[in-house]
Structure 1
Amino acid sequence: MPPAIPDRWVPYKACGNVIEGTRIICFKVPLKKSVQAANKDIKQIWTVPILLETVPNLAGVIDLTNTARYYNPEELQSKGVLHKKIYMPGRIIPPEEKVIEFMDTVDEFLGKDCEALVGVHCTHGLNRTGYMVCRYMRDRLGVPVKDAIKKFEKARGYEIERENYLADLLGTKPPPPDLGKETVIKSIASGTPYKRSPLAEDEDPADANRDRDRYNRYNRSFNNRNHDRNNSGRGTGNDNGFRKSRDTETNWRRRSEPERKSSYDYRHDY
């Protein structure tokens, strides 16, 4: 029996538009065709080959899901498309080094081809993706953060759902953790909400227990968080040039994944 589709993956449209003022396009994670074939709710198959047909001028893809099980990066690399894997647990503000790694990768990919696009995805191409892309627009392109959020949401077609991501972007006090709460998909175009079960979490419980305390910057005080933001030393400006600080021979090599049980559950938002 094929594994289940990730929770809430079906209702989202597959791919957004290029974000205004950037060369970034965001989409939900492509899945293997065999995973989608038996699901009657799927009206549009979304695989890596279909992604490449939809966005033929991709320079590279940045994968923010917290697993390497969804597709084989060789499908992209064999077509000359770079692939970068950044493991990012859902619902958690990532540590600053991961944000900088993401922003440096965007700059490096854009520097490969002055006309090509960079694709970014997490499971749904919305929350983790929106946070990272808006951080890039704010910190590297100098876009006012409210404008960055609006441009991202308009291009993707949905509002960012996670209040802690929005609070961190805006520099406001974070809300209480939303684990176990119902998630409502808010489409920019139709305004029609889609509600998910509050019992279906966005991440693997084992990953959550392992990563939450390590990565959640809200375990620190709000004032310390603002201090970290103001003194993080991250770059600013409009530099989209090629950065030579990385060893490209090894940086894009696919990470090895330990053997796991065959009963892998795709329903979690890894």
Structure 2
Amino acid sequence: MRAHSMDDRFAFASIDANTVTPDKQFILIGHSMGTSLAGRVALRYGPGRCKGVVAICPPSHVDPKMRSTRKSLAYIPEFVFNIFRAVDRSGGLTSHSVNRMVSPSVPPTHEIRTKQLRINLQVNTGPWMKTAYNFEPLTSREWGELNCPVFLIGSENDVVTPKNDVYDIFGWLNDKAKGGKNVIDPVILHDSGHAALIEKHHVLEGLISDFIIKHVNIKLSLGWQLAYLASKSDKWSLKNEAKWRKTLAVGEKIRGTRLRGMKTLRQNDLEHSPSILEKKYPDIYSIIDISREPPPYDPASFTRISYHKFPTVSKLPPTKKEVADFIEMVDTCMEEIKLRTQSADPPPDATLAVHCHYGFNRTGFFLCSYMVERLGYSINEAVEAFSISRPPGIKHPHFIDELYVRYEL
């Protein structure tokens, strides 16, 4: 039972870290038993190389009963254990093998269960038995010796590594650091089980991104990199103008709302100018321009549509303050439409359009936030509704991740 022991896996991971990135720094992300491997590699290379550890559903100990039971793995033939596994999978999407990993709130036929069952089927019995037999979690001393930022993430409904394990480990880190800079408050994911990587991947991606930005290096964030590249380019270069022309001018009205997303206008464009917009879309009463730069059109040339400027930075998800101010501006616009039409409620077909440059990322983020906070949409419903009205929807993954972090935690 020596093959596939934690020592063997640690050796392989260490060799990989040293050969692939011999002089480079890295961040380690582990899930379940993988968190112990990540921690030991971090201890080996120290803070000079390892700049952070993210531990998702980390085990703080092996239950005494389980420790006693797993000794039998040394004597059970693989074909016998395969029979146990087949029985455990009996029931398919609602089998013990799946229920153990996903949250009880996941519907019986949901794709999350399908993915988890597929993962279970792909696990090779022999290596798993050997790994489980030899597994030892990091000790309290080892956790305390980690001299880099450590971010702990647990799941509310995890029965494999319960959320109390996260609190145990956080206590060990806190005792050792005594409130130092490496102590980061843990996060517990709601309505999530041990399969958090499947169930809450958008939330996890956003949390890990925030951890890297705040505790490692802001230049590693996708938003910072995209903003830097954007600062070096001309939005109206030949290439970007061609991209703008290919982009859908105005999206459909988002279902259940009075909102539309659109791209910016150009003053004398033959297809998408202020005058053409007013002719083609008599339902649009107001426009909120969220681009940072002065618009490439004259807002004063509108004869019917009311123009509002709300400048924001591209490539970076809007802040909570910006979202709150945007929602207040939309509310004000809606009241303005009521006054203009002299009605208690805006006309049924009256809409408000929002645009940045192309009308996907910042526009989608603000509109989805409005739908969640004002109209009671779930974040899934809001993101889907926007993508249907203005395909393909929000393009930047870090924008979507931030929405899930903001509205699911």
Q: TM-score range by the shorter chain?
A: 0.5 to 0.7
Letter in 2 for 1:122: C
1:98 maps to 2:308? no
Q: 2:375 aligns with which of 141, 144, 160?
A: 141
Q: Distance in 1 between matches of 2:279 and 2:285?
A: 14
Provide the residue aligned with 1:119 in structure 2.
353
1:187-198 superposed matches below 5 A: none
Please say if residues 283 and 351 of structure 2, whose CA atoms lie closer than 8 Å, have aligned partners that are also in contact.
Answer: yes
1:20 maps to 2:246? no
Q: Distance in 2 between matches of 1:146 and 1:120?
A: 20
Q: Distance in 1 between matches of 2:393 and 2:366?
A: 15
Please say if residues 59 and 110 of structure 1, whose CA atoms lie closer than 8 Å, have aligned partners that are also in contact.
Answer: no
User: Kindly, what percent of the aligned residue pairs are identical?
Assistant: 25
For residue 4 of structure 1, report the CA deviation from its aligned partner: 4.1
SS of 2:370's partner is helix
Q: Distance in 2 between matches of 1:167 and 1:12?
A: 24
RMSD (Å), alpha carbons: 2.1
Query: Aligned in 2, Cα 1:135/1:96: closer, same or farther, shift over 3 Å?
Result: same
Provide the residue aligned with 1:263 in structure 2.
none
Q: Distance in 2 between matches of 1:148 and 1:92?
A: 19
Query: Aligned in 2, Cα 1:110/1:69: closer, same or farther, shift over 3 Å?
Result: closer
Q: Distance in 1 between matches of 2:334 and 2:379?
A: 21
1:160 maps to 2:394? yes
1:71 maps to 2:305? no
Letter in 2 for 1:52: E
For normalisation by structure 2, the TM-score amounts to: 0.37
Query: Aligned in 2, Cα 1:230/1:11: closer, same or farther, shift over 3 Å?
Result: closer
Q: Distance in 1 between matches of 2:314 and 2:322?
A: 14
Letter in 2 for 1:11: K
Q: Distance in 1 between matches of 2:295 and 2:330?
A: 23
Structure 1 segments of 4 or more deviating over 3 A?
A: 3-7
Q: Distance in 1 between matches of 2:352 and 2:393?
A: 21
Provide the residue aligned with 1:52 in structure 2.
278
Task: Give the unaligned 5+ runs of structure 2.
Answer: 1-235, 339-345
1:107-146 C-alpha deviation (Å, 9 max, x unpaired): 1212223112111111011111000000000111110111
Provide the residue aligned with 2:266 in structure 1.
31
Provide the aligned length of Structure 1 versus Structure 2: 162
Q: 1:62 aligns with which of 280, 288, 301?
A: 288
1:181-220 superposed matches below 5 A: none
Please say if residues 278 and 304 of structure 2, whose CA atoms lie closer than 8 Å, have aligned partners that are also in contact.
Answer: no
Provide the residue aligned with 2:365 in structure 1.
131
1:49-81 C-alpha deviation (Å, 9 max, x unpaired): 1111121122210001111141111122xx242
Q: Distance in 1 between matches of 2:366 and 2:289?
A: 11
Higher Cα Rg, which structure: 2
Letter in 2 for 1:83: Y
Q: Distance in 1 between matches of 2:246 and 2:306?
A: 28
Please say if residues 278 and 305 of structure 2, whose CA atoms lie closer than 8 Å, have aligned partners that are also in contact.
Answer: no
Q: Distance in 2 between matches of 1:230 and 1:150?
A: 16
For normalisation by structure 1, the TM-score amounts to: 0.56
Q: Distance in 2 between matches of 1:163 and 1:129?
A: 14
Provide the residue aligned with 1:180 in structure 2.
none
1:107 maps to 2:331? yes
Task: Give the unaligned 5+ runs of structure 1.
Answer: 37-43, 172-225, 232-270
1:150-201 C-alpha deviation (Å, 9 max, x unpaired): 1111011223111111001111xxxxxxxxxxxxxxxxxxxxxxxxxxxxxx
Q: Distance in 1 between matches of 2:261 and 2:379?
A: 18
